[in-house]
Structure 1
Amino acid sequence: MDNEKAWFVRRVVLSVLFLVAVAVPLYPELFGLDEVTPFPQLVAYRPQGLVVLLVLALLMLVRRGWRIAAALAAVLALVGGALVAPRHFSHARQAPADARQLTIMVANVLGGGANAADVAQLIRDRKPDLVSLPEAQVDVREQINALLQDQQYKGYTAQPGSAVESATSVLVAPSLGPVTFASDPGTTLGNVVVTGGTLAGVRLIAYHGYPPLTDGVMTWKHDLQAVRHWCSEDPATIVAGDFNATVDHADFRQALGGYCRSVGPTVGGGLQGTWPADQPAVLRTQIDHVVVTRQLQPERFTTYPIRGTDHRAVVATVAVLR
């Protein structure tokens, strides 16, 4: 083999190795690495990673010897971008005119660090039927509710552990009537199940999933399995909260299965990042979700700033299909 052919073969081999190297953090599930740190953490920023990869591929075109690698990287970035694009360009389907609407709000209050007045004002403005408050202990819930006395929201808190992060609270609008509150012991952190009243067979669940910390990936996976369980059951279900997972996580997609869908990506709001709130929008990722089963039609999804917390609040509207 002459030197030119040998160099071409070497470039091809090195280009393929480069492609694998950049594909692993973007698509660790393809390599069986989605449970191995740091990949569960990195894949949460897949959209941003694809943009960086495309820019890198364009810069690599300057060097003739790098053009094969640049072409492979550009193809990966463009294909990945095409898969991400529907999260922004999707539109809500038209629900029947007589369908009942439910408005759901999520606000991780960072253990009470969030400005209670901001949370209360958003509730006044958007008038949600259910407010999911991850990391809100009883005192935080009551502080927010005290600013809403004329609204007559009812509250409940589940806190299975002593840590502030384990608390999850809900506020329920009086329009839902005499609802029943319960806690499902199937998750590590607190969750609240709301049924009855005028929900007429719809189940509302306020949820907080364990984060994929270096030493907590298996606990994170366990909590997402609870979501899969809720989604696969018969009652029409809405799960709202801080999932600590994005649609780029294979475990989150498996939890939804064919039973549930996240409202944001379904209605074109899938690239509205909710965390970390103190970073520019392009550096955020969407880990706060409103997830619904197929008996409910996603309609709107919007995020809002709340002072004092590292999460943006989420307000989603869904229609109940009969």
Structure 2
Amino acid sequence: MIVLLVLAVAFLEVATLRLIGVDGNRLTAALLALTPYCAVGGLLLGGVSLALRHWWIGGVVLVVALALVGVLLPRAFAAAQPPAHGGKLRVMSSNQYLGRADVQSVVRLVRENQVDVLNLLELTPREVTELARAGLFEALPYRVFKPQYGGAGSGIASRYPLTELSLAGPSLMEQPSARVDVDGTSVEVVAVHPIPPTTDAGEWKKEMAGLPRPDSSGPVRILAGDFNSTVDHATFRDLLGGGYTDAALSRGEGFTPTWPSSFFPPPVTIDHVLVDPRVAVDSYRVLDVPDSDHHAVIAELTLP
């Protein structure tokens, strides 16, 4: 009885935060990232409690777990796309794990998938040299790179000409942005990498709030990178509420994890491609990058 009660209280605390839209502190933000696992655990806990005839515990937990499942389930289904008839653009994002990711594999993925814009997170000066040797800049000759030692560097490489911008607010890690000229269509791209909420929840919320919102009267905007956030964080949903479409959610791939590439801690989805609501998402995939702790994400888009 005591064990069931303790587990029920823990489950209800996390579920309530998710349902009312509060991220809280470093600990609760970390727990909210595990919401899909929490929902499954709640169903099991409710069923076991009912089987043991602890009616109140089982009933309350099961009702809340079902409410949580109802919130989560839509991310497994594709959504209707806007009527876009412009050019195609393939955007890929890869966290390079402190510059340790295998650059040959990254360049191979760029070539095999005909990537047009590549956002690189945790980009180091040494890795920039290795990417050049591997031939990245033959495929993507234009770039806005801000490499740093450690995990703070980022960069954008493109098949099309780039104009450097400053769209993201102040952040502890580099979040470069640029305007891409795609056959006459202007597209603004940000390489996103806010600080993790487990490091400083307040700073994470501030950096997420500093990301630009879509502008229906201006150029198309695309945010791609390691958001250190899942759809179960209210802070991330606020960004979606500003008008962006999550490419994974749009294609029914919202449960596909991107970090870590191993099985512990439990894999979650913190890498995203967010697109202007005028953009159609034709496809979305998660790709393995050897020696990185993240999977890369790639979206094929049709511009308005």
Report the TM-score when normalising by structure 1: 0.84
SS at match of 1:253: helix
How far apart, in 1, do the equivalents of 2:168 and 2:241 lie?
Answer: 22
Name structure 1 gaps, 5 residues minimum: 1-10
Query: Residue 68 of structure 2 aligns with which residue?
Result: 80
- The answer to whether the Cα contact below 8 Å between 1:211 and 1:244 also exists between their aligned partners in 2 is yes
- The answer to whether the Cα contact below 8 Å between 2:82 and 2:279 also exists between their aligned partners in 1 is no
Task: Return the offset for 1:19.
Answer: 5.7
Over 3 Å counting, the alpha-carbon distance change for 1:72 and 1:223 in structure 2 is same
SS at match of 1:85: helix
- The answer to whether the Cα contact below 8 Å between 2:143 and 2:162 also exists between their aligned partners in 1 is no
Over 3 Å counting, the alpha-carbon distance change for 1:147 and 1:57 in structure 2 is same
Q: Does 1:52 align with 2:41?
A: yes
SS at match of 1:38: helix
How far apart, in 2, do the equivalents of 1:32 and 1:295 lie?
Answer: 27
Over 3 Å counting, the alpha-carbon distance change for 1:317 and 1:187 in structure 2 is farther
Number of aligned positions between the proteins: 298
How far apart, in 1, do the equivalents of 2:168 and 2:25 lie?
Answer: 27
Q: Deviations over 1:145-165 (max 9, x none)?
A: 332254253222125xx6521
How far apart, in 1, do the equivalents of 2:20 and 2:73 lie?
Answer: 23
Q: Deviations over 1:108-150 (max 9, x none)?
A: 0011111111111111111111101000123313322332254
Query: Residue 194 of structure 1 aligns with which residue?
Result: 178
2:110 maps to which of 116, 123, 130: 123
Query: Residue 261 of structure 1 aligns with which residue?
Result: 245
Deviates more, 1:198-207 or 1:114-123: 198-207
SS at match of 1:132: strand
Which one has a larger percent helix, Structure 1 or Structure 2? 1
Matches of residues 1-322 of structure 1 in structure 2 within 5 Å? 21-28=10-17, 34-64=23-53, 66-93=54-81, 95-96=83-84, 98-148=85-135, 150-159=138-147, 163-173=149-159, 176=160, 178-184=161-167, 186-188=169-171, 189-198=173-182, 200-214=185-199, 216-227=200-211, 229-231=212-214, 234-279=218-263, 283-321=266-304
How far apart, in 2, do the equivalents of 1:32 and 1:93 lie?
Answer: 27
- The answer to whether the Cα contact below 8 Å between 2:11 and 2:38 also exists between their aligned partners in 1 is no
Q: Deviations over 1:154-201 (max 9, x none)?
A: 222125xx652111012111xx2x321234461311112121533623
- The answer to whether the Cα contact below 8 Å between 1:100 and 1:320 also exists between their aligned partners in 2 is yes
- Of all paired residues, the percent bearing the same amino acid is 25
- The answer to whether the Cα contact below 8 Å between 2:168 and 2:190 also exists between their aligned partners in 1 is no
Task: Return the offset for 1:226.
Answer: 1.6
1:157 aligned partner, one-letter code: F
- The answer to whether the Cα contact below 8 Å between 1:145 and 1:153 also exists between their aligned partners in 2 is no
How far apart, in 1, do the equivalents of 2:116 and 2:47 lie?
Answer: 48
CA RMSD of aligned residues (A): 2.6
